[in-house]
Structure 1
Amino acid sequence: MSRYLDVAAAQMGPVARDEPRSSAVRRMITLMREARARGADLVVYPELALTTFFPRWVIDDESELDAFFETEMPGRETAPLFEESARLGISFYLGYAELVREGSEKRRFNTSIFVDGTGTIAAKYRKVHLPGHDEPQAGRTFQHLEKRYFRTGDLGFPVWHACGGLMGMCLCNDRRWPETYRVMGLQGVELIMLGYNTPVHHTGYEAVDALAGFHNHLSVQAGAYQNATWVVATAKGGTEEGSEMIAQSAIVAPSGEIVAMASTRGDEVITARCDLDLGRFYRETIFDFERHREPSAYGLIVERKGARPPDA
């Protein structure tokens, strides 16, 4: 018997530096309503969906930097999105910049949350694989300073029961690392929600940047296939404050096939009916970890190189 979940990727076009959160939230509500009208029970938004991708700039003023972060969720400006979720009975994933104050200390994370169909936060994730640099790089038109503005995520890669299946989350650069998918795959994940903001010229090497779109889908399709899971990958695209973003939002099946893909670089909803039992066929055959995976051998390989073996 199949377990179907109708999902939507709600791609967003550029968010200007001076665009208020209330405007971004109105756009997201419009996308949510369209997703629901098309039968979706879950809608996935991009990474840092509420603001422009501010790590492209050097920001030394503390109050200016803080203005890009959320200190509560939902807050006054984001509450309407939660209210609409409850009204429509639709779950959603949202990426945003999180500021945690503990006394005089500030901790900043690149965060995503899963909100269930009652408008209640049911899970949180903080980005683990931070790209870029912690100091400005000479000669770059746009910086990539996630390491400067965010701490490494401290919540791991948990999975949880929701929407009739086992769900997981990650963010942007996490998708390039096989460990991201494998940690969740070992827990039996059936659908991973992924938001991203990827500049076309993020590495500074023309030959690599020219393949940004190819590498985007390659990473997601490989992760989905090798771990027998659906992945809903949602971008912010277009030209944002002069920086080109790749878009290419896609819904990928456990087979590794793209079953839906955005055709624009702006606000757009794509949907797919996901059979959560589809991954079972791969987990019981090619990727039966219990029968075919050999973690004991990995330690031998690493030990020969003088490094510490990974946990089995």
Structure 2
Amino acid sequence: MTVAITVALIQHGGGGGPAEVWARIETGLRQARAQGADLAVLQELHNGPYFCQWENPTEFARAEPIPGPSTERLGALAKELSLVIVGSLFERRTGGLYHNTAVVLERDGRLVGRYRKMHIPEDPGFYEKYYFTPGDLGFTPIDTSVGRLGVLVCWDQWYPEAARLMALAGADMLVYPTAIGFDPRDDEAEKARQKEAWELVQRAHAVANGLPVLAVNRCGHESDPSGTTPGIAFWGGSFVCGPQGEWLARAGDASAVLIARIDPLRTETTRQIWPFLRDRRIDAYADLQKRYRD
């Protein structure tokens, strides 16, 4: 990336039927382009509700091949709007093999890359291991007309190793489609700690790697289909920060098209004054390949 670009994060709720959700997506993309966006990022599993709140085999019907209907639809919008789009889909690779997969569509509508989520959570309300096989494509940035995108997905954002490997592979920015929220039963102090930790760890990835970070999250309450919990209150809070972790744009907890400007010279100058990559002791990091150092 050699020139400044305008980026847009499309934050919305997951309620309603497919037609309603796609209308939100399309409206958000059109608004983004109208505001000068060169790159638009959609939230994790944007085609519908966050279905991983329960374990039910009927939910596998949501999965689709890549390329497939959603990449065709996003590709047509990318071409019409001359907009690079990052989407997030439930990929059916073959019967019994599914992934949580981000896709990148170029301005001309081509599918130019995909990333399969590497870190898969299994927590109350987030039963993703039931649905998703861990990714097998590694941490490889995707080349586009707006730069090399280090695309990761949600739970990946807690792992400094993932961010570092994308940076070492030449990513110009880190991009995180996300679905994270509160358990409504938590008290306000716990909710505040969780949201602050989510922001803090990603801003730390920006600082440690001297790269901008784009994190787009869902918003609004989504019920637990099983009825056994109060569901999830997705907190929104999508943001863009610069290579020193500085805030460039922040959304609230409602639907929004968040716009920010990214200047690649900030990465260059930041890395000159904070040359963390230069000073890494790669000769001393072998233990990072262990689960735990006993």
Q: Report Cα offsets for 1:126-158 as digits up to 9, x if no partner.
A: 11111125xxxxxxxx63211111111111110
1:189 Cα deviation after fit: 1.4
1:198 Cα deviation after fit: 0.5
Aligned 1:250-265 pairs, distance under 5 A: 250-263=239-252, 265=253
2:52 alignment partner in structure 1 = 55
1:66 alignment partner in structure 2 = 60
Return structure 1 stretches of 4+ with deviation > 6 angstroms: 202-207, 300-303
1:296 alignment partner in structure 2 = 283
- Of 111, 117, 138, the residue aligned with 1:127 is 117
1:190 Cα deviation after fit: 1.2
Amino acid at match of 2:148: L
Q: Report Cα offsets for 1:242-284 as digits up to 9, x if no partner.
A: 4211210001111111110112x23210111101221112323
Taking the aligned partners of 2:288 and 2:93, their CA distance within structure 1 comes to: 40
- Of 243, 254, 262, the residue aligned with 2:232 is 243
Taking the aligned partners of 1:238 and 1:117, their CA distance within structure 2 comes to: 30
1:138 alignment partner in structure 2 = none
Taking the aligned partners of 2:184 and 2:138, their CA distance within structure 1 comes to: 25
* 2:9–2:42 CA contact under 8 A, matched in 1: yes
- The 3 A distance-change label for structure 1 pair 300 and 38 is closer
* 1:36–1:88 CA contact under 8 A, matched in 2: yes
- Say whether residues 1:145 and 2:142 are aligned partners: no
Taking the aligned partners of 2:192 and 2:114, their CA distance within structure 1 comes to: 33
- Of 13, 19, 23, the residue aligned with 1:22 is 19
1:23 Cα deviation after fit: 2.2
- Say whether residues 1:88 and 2:85 are aligned partners: no
* 2:217–2:238 CA contact under 8 A, matched in 1: yes
1:20 Cα deviation after fit: 2.9
1:310 alignment partner in structure 2 = none
1:207 Cα deviation after fit: 6.6
Taking the aligned partners of 1:183 and 1:205, their CA distance within structure 2 comes to: 36
* 1:25–1:80 CA contact under 8 A, matched in 2: no
Taking the aligned partners of 2:116 and 2:184, their CA distance within structure 1 comes to: 21
SS of structure 1 residue aligned to 2:136: coil
* 1:25–1:81 CA contact under 8 A, matched in 2: no
1:301 Cα deviation after fit: 9.0
Aligned 1:148-159 pairs, distance under 5 A: 148-159=130-141
1:86 Cα deviation after fit: 0.7
SS of structure 2 residue aligned to 1:48: coil
Amino acid at match of 2:141: V
Amino acid at match of 1:261: R
Taking the aligned partners of 2:112 and 2:184, their CA distance within structure 1 comes to: 33
Which sits farther off after the overlay, 159-168 or 107-116?
159-168
- The 3 A distance-change label for structure 1 pair 202 and 97 is farther
TM-score, L = length of structure 1: 0.84
RMSD: 2.5
- The 3 A distance-change label for structure 1 pair 45 and 216 is same
2:258 alignment partner in structure 1 = 270
1:90 Cα deviation after fit: 0.5
Which sits farther off after the overlay, 279-288 or 202-211?
202-211
1:136 alignment partner in structure 2 = none
Amino acid at match of 2:75: F
2:101 alignment partner in structure 1 = 111
Return 5+ residue gaps in structure 1 as ranges. Answer: 134-141, 308-312
* 1:28–1:81 CA contact under 8 A, matched in 2: no
**Largest Rg, 1 or 2:** 1
- The 3 A distance-change label for structure 1 pair 6 and 300 is closer
* 2:184–2:233 CA contact under 8 A, matched in 1: no
Taking the aligned partners of 2:20 and 2:66, their CA distance within structure 1 comes to: 18
Amino acid at match of 1:106: G
2:32 alignment partner in structure 1 = 35
* 1:200–1:209 CA contact under 8 A, matched in 2: yes
Quick one: percent identity of the two aligned structures? 28
* 2:150–2:167 CA contact under 8 A, matched in 1: no
Return 5+ residue gaps in structure 2 as ranges. Answer: 224-230
